[in-house]
Amino acid sequence: MRANLESLPSGGPASEQEDWGHVQTGLIRYLRARAVRADVAEDIAQETLIRLISVSRKQAIASVFALGFRIADNLLVDLYRAERRLTDAPGDDMRSEAPSLDRVLDSRRAYAVFQQCLDRMPPLRREVIVRRRMRQESCRAIGEALSLSIKAVEKHITRGLLDLRRAMEKAGIEPAGWDE
């Protein structure tokens, strides 16, 4: 939409001398040459004219076209930035490596079930499970520390893991990775 240039109030010396219609046509051509859509080019040209007229009332402009092209470029950059903010998928920049709230709550629940199951185990079985699964000690090292045979350590591990599996299944929690 072309600005109604006749209705613009004249004021300073530049506004009387400039042919604003000619400037607006030049701005639209400049913007269209930069692959700007026609409607956007007209809007930016109109906004540029308003700013040029405002500046011309306060001070003399050496080159109306040079200033107009600069203003139009800045308005175009502002428009592209605003459109990019609107079209970017929300949250793309705000993704977190932290687990989701659901996963945190599920993990806390699994931990509580795990801890209750450990507390109910006989002390020797609990000690073997903790040493093997938590501290990553070998069966041989556990056997030597607790004066047990390797077979006895393996049986405690097997029974302890079965207890943990049953407790997790009873609570509705998938005990993934417990058998490894």
What predicted TM-score, i.e. pTM, was given to this entire model? 0.44
Cβ atoms of 44 and 29 within 8 Å: the answer is: no
More confident: 15 or 53? 53
Non-local (6+) Cβ contacts of 58 within 8 A are 12
Looking at residue 85, what is its pLDDT? Answer: 78
Q: What is the CATH number of domain 101-170?
A: 1.10.10.10
Give the pLDDT confidence of 78-108 residue by residue, as tens digits: 888 888 877 655 555 566 777 788 888 888 9
160 pLDDT more than 50: yes
Looking at residue 103, what is its pLDDT? Answer: 82
Cα→Cα distances 141→100, 120, 135, 147, 155, Å: 38, 24, 11, 10, 15
Give the pLDDT confidence of 29-84 residue by residue, as tens digits: 988 888 888 898 899 999 999 999 999 999 998 899 999 999 999 999 988 888 88
Non-local (6+) Cβ contacts of 42 within 8 A are 1, 2, 28
147 pLDDT more than 90: yes
Question: In the chain, what are the domain boundaries?
Answer: 5-87, 101-170
Mean confidence (pLDDT) of the chain: 83
21 pLDDT more than 50: yes
> Percent of the chain at pLDDT above 70?
82
